[in-house]
Amino acid sequence: MAEQPKEIIVQGIGVSPGVVVAKAFLLTTEDDRFVEREIAPDEIPREVARFEDALIETRRQIHEIQQKVSTAIGQENAGIFDAHLLVVDDRAFVEEVIRGLNAQHRNVEAVLHDVAERYADALARIEDDYLRERAADVRDVTRRILRNLSGKSRSEILETEEPCVVVANDLAPSETATMDKEKVVAFATDLGSPTSHTAIMARALGIPAIVGLHDVSVRVSEGDEVLVDGSKGVFIVHPSRERLDRYGQEVENRKHIESELARLKDESAETRDGYMVLLSANIERPEDVNSIEAYGAQGVGLFRSEFLYLSRENLPNEEEQYSVYDEVARRLAPDPVIIRTIDLGGDKFLSHMRTAPEMNPFMGWRAIRFCLAQPDIFKTQLRAILRASVSENVKIMYPMVSSADEVIQANALLEEAKDELRSEGGRFNEDVDVGVMIEVPSAALIADLLAPHVKFFSIGTNDLVQYTLAVDRVNERIAYLYRPTHPAILKLIKNTIDIGHEHGIWTGICGEMAGNPLMVPLLMGLGADEFSVSPSLVPMVKDVIRNLRYAQAEELAAKALASESPKEVLDLCRDLTQEIAPEIIQLIE
């Protein structure tokens, strides 16, 4: 009888709850590390054949990309890939790799990498700008060849026959968004933090996930049995029979609590003493409406429309966008549907738009800045949203606003879009509500200047915390500094809500704080009117609200605002949740 492999336990950051046991599927990236190994002389022909096959596949992929780019944005832009083809077809380059195989007796990945780096370094030292830029082309093509040598691409996950846990160094949000939940039952990554967009997508999809595992992608082998505890952030390779039994009992307890919470589906988000808030959902795709209906949310508080733009080779046209917005609005009417205009940038970018790399993309050319600089793209989206507004439950929200000027400019483009539709005889809601996201400290501090131009505020706590505390929210090494209960954050939230109320406009919370059951009483006590959370979190949030008295929330907020310690505030939040809803503590801890 084969000996049971030793357990390997890795602690990461749990970002989407749930427990799963399945086989590991290692997902490579173009930047993944390769393994260097020695080869015997009789292995050289096989390595040469692998190299030539990878070159053929790379050439095919580049031609395919060229064709798609040419169709989408013109032949001139497709020409940028001619330099990539020159690398693949450079016989001197290819023959140097083959000579290296014969001389060094190392695998082709190692030899190719060394040859490519020599070429790229030599080009980078040349004074001529054009030739110096070719260094990047050499490295890009080499990464593609290395990926093809691995024999596995990211699309291969679609071909797996049994449920699996995807293990990777990192995942792009668009990749997470397109995962097939029937095949991908969980994922685990070396990089990431609780508020990275990949983590947010995992919660939205209801897929258990752990990030910040550092080197798990090189510690696990393809096909290993792994256990993912997305609540505790524990990743276990080769779990023992005793551990599987123990987790099995925990899963049963969790299922019992969740079945009880499911009974709240049609109940309102109302405290025991009659204080009611709107509990909406964050969504990315039209099919997420099914989750809204299943979990009992009331409309959409944040439609992340940028996911319509990702994982495709061209921009969605007005008709495509209108079809999506209209479908969601009609299905959920009369409940509100707040559509956030595209928030591209940071870790969400268009694959076919060549933009200069930025040192800090999260604070760069993104969101409303991108939209105002690309008025044609922006107005196409505004026209589509306006047309969908005939359902009279659609609202528009601008992201990452930092000044009143941006809102004024955006509203001017909105009026232009209205004028165009009127001249064409198009129908739309003339009084469609416009709001802004408060996620930059400057916006929170000038809420009084923004209020006259909008009908509502929605506080995006993820970025507000990141920018206020100077903590990169996708950097797991400083994740411990990301503290939503920091006094500065609480004061900015309170200031925004109070100013909104003074101007007769409501304020919602659509960041991850809103979906954290521990934080909900605190945010209610600060005066929040609406919460928008991942659909799967709605039952937990609703349970806390329905077991709370508003007076308790106000008392908690007063103590929090008087505290100088983020940990003390978090402890106060946990103690209150333990008192009013101990079943929620069981679920999240």
Q: Are 77 and 351 in contact (CB under 8 A)?
A: no
The distance from CA 574 to its chain's CA centroid, rounded to whole angstroms, is: 27
Element (H, E) at 8: strand 8-11
The one-character DSSP state at 514 is G
Please state, in angstroms and rounded to a whole number, the distance separating the CA atoms of residues 377 and 380. 5
Helices (H) and strands (E) counted in the chain, each on its own, are 24, 16
The distance from CA 433 to its chain's CA centroid, rounded to whole angstroms, is: 26
Please state, in angstroms and rounded to a whole number, the distance separating the CA atoms of residues 32 and 392. 48
Residues of 281-311 as b/e, b for ≥16 C-beta within 10 angstroms?
Answer: bbbbbbebbebbeebbbbbbbbbbbbbbbbe
Contacts of 275 (CB under 8 A, 6+ apart): 524, 550, 553
- Continuous H helices in 107-183: 108-124, 129-149, 173-177
Residues belonging to the active site:
197, 510
Q: Are 503 and 217 in contact (CB under 8 A)?
A: no
Please state, in angstroms and rounded to a whole number, the distance separating the CA atoms of residues 141 and 118. 14
Q: For residue 29, what are its two tokens? A: 């990236």
Contacts of 99 (CB under 8 A, 6+ apart): none
Kindly give the pairing relationship between strand 225-229 and strand 209-211: unpaired
Q: Are 254 and 205 in contact (CB under 8 A)?
A: no
Q: Are 15 and 199 in contact (CB under 8 A)?
A: yes
Please state, in angstroms and rounded to a whole number, the distance separating the CA atoms of residues 289 and 269. 19
Please state, in angstroms and rounded to a whole number, the distance separating the CA atoms of residues 85 and 506. 56
Q: For residue 483, what are its two tokens? A: 């503290």
